[in-house]
Structure formats: C-alpha cells, structure tokens
Amino acid sequence: MMGRLKSDQGQLFYEFRLGDAVPEDHLVRKIDTALDLSWLRSELAPHYSSMGRPSIDPELMIRMLVVGYVFAICKSKRDDGTFSRRDFQYDPTSDVYHCPGGKRLGTSGTVHEGKTLLYRASKLDCDVCPLKPQCCPKEPSRKIPREIHEYARDVARSLASTEGFEQSRRERKKIEMRCQRRRDFAAAGRSKSAARTQARRPPISGVFLLVALF
C-alpha cells in the first residue's frame, strides 16, 4: 500500500518546526522549489497493492535520492574488506575504469534494468593479479556497476573538496545538532511527565495483586 507523508516533522517536537531551522538560502530550499513531483503518486499508484501496511512515501524517497546526489552521499564501501568502487579510477575519455593493479575494466554498452552499465575486468588479468584476494576473491573477475547518469554524481564529488561544499556541510551539521537537542528536550519532558503521573497514582495493595493474579 502506498504511504503518504501527511505532515512535516513538527509534530515530533514541542514548539519546534524542522523547517524553521533551515536557512532561507540553503540549497535544499532551492531544490524543494525547483522539484515538482506532483505527478509521481498517480504514476506509481498502479504498482502498489491496495492492502497491507503503508510504504514510505515515494515522493519522500525521490527527494532523499536527489539530496544524496547533490551532497555526494554515496554508500560504495564494501563490507567484506575488498576494494570498493572508490578504489577504481574512471577515465571519462576512454570510458573505462582502471583497477588498483593498473588494468582496464571496459563495458559492452549494454544497459541493465534500464539504468546500469557493467564494467568488467579481463579474467586473464585477474587470474594472475596478486591483488585478486583483495579485489574479487570469490569471483572470476571484477565488475563495477555504473549508472548511466553517474556523471552527475562525479560532478557532485568533484565539488566535495570546495569551500562552498564545506560551508554547506557545516550549516547542515548545525541543523542536525539543533534537531538533536530538540529531540532530547522533548524526550526529557515526556519522561518527567510520565514520572509525575506515576507519582500521583495510589499504591497498589497486596490484596489487589492477589486478586489480579487469580
């Protein structure tokens, strides 16, 4: 079942709205102004069941992905200790990747699932490579997926070392810290309220407990 975000996160706090903590000139506000997703729900509705628990709002998911692209938030580190995609250098001129061992990974140009190209190393190169245990110990050769719009991510990553990006990151940290303090304050208020309510309750007698048990 398709879910819908019915209200902003102000409902989670006392006297606090998340939008008030975002500066007027922040990039996310510009994205919100430019990004029109009013068509999205009707387009995706036929693909959702009419039963079951509501899903995450698809519009929220798209907005999260866009923010991830813009701020170069990418999870590409492998959990098994082998080389991640970041260890492979992409050459846009030749449209190939270069592995840590200096070998090339090329693509056939086939687009998988409408969005992904696969760059594969030669099995002959991988068989004799001393770095294979750190690269593809369980596979004949290494392959690197690359989305057809990956160039946009490359541009975002190239901006990650600029002063403008650092300023944006510092502002984002300030907002996150303010939100965390508000959450802590709200949680402390609820705890105190629950403690006062418990203190006003009359003590439960041993007779009442025996009746309840039997």
Give the model confidence (pLDDT) of 31-46 as tens digits. 888 888 888 888 888 8
Mean pLDDT over each residue of the chain, to the nearest integer: 78
The CA distance from 101 to 8, in Å, is: 49
pLDDT at 11 over 60: no
Nearest to residue 83, comparing CAs of 133, 151, 130?
A: 133
What's the pLDDT at 210?
Answer: 38
How far, rounded to the nearest angstrom, does the alpha carbon of residue 45 sit from its chain's CA centroid? 23
This prediction's pTM: 0.45
pLDDT of residue 206: 43
110 sits in which H/E element: strand 104-112
For Cα atoms 146, 149, 153, give the angle at the middle one, nearest 5 degrees: 85
- Does residue 2 carry a pLDDT above 70? no
- Per-residue pLDDT band for 207 (boundaries 50, 70, 90) equals very low
Q: What angle do CA 142, 148, 150 make, to 5 degrees?
A: 80
Quick check: helix, strand or coil at residue 1? coil
**pLDDT higher than 80, residue 89:** yes
Report pLDDT for 73.
63
Q: Please report, for residues 60, 117, 202, 206, the alpha-carbon distance to residue 210 in angstroms, rounded to integers and kept in the order given.
A: 52, 70, 17, 6
Comparison of pLDDT for 196 and 163, the residue scoring more: 163
- Percent of the chain whose pLDDT exceeds 70: 73
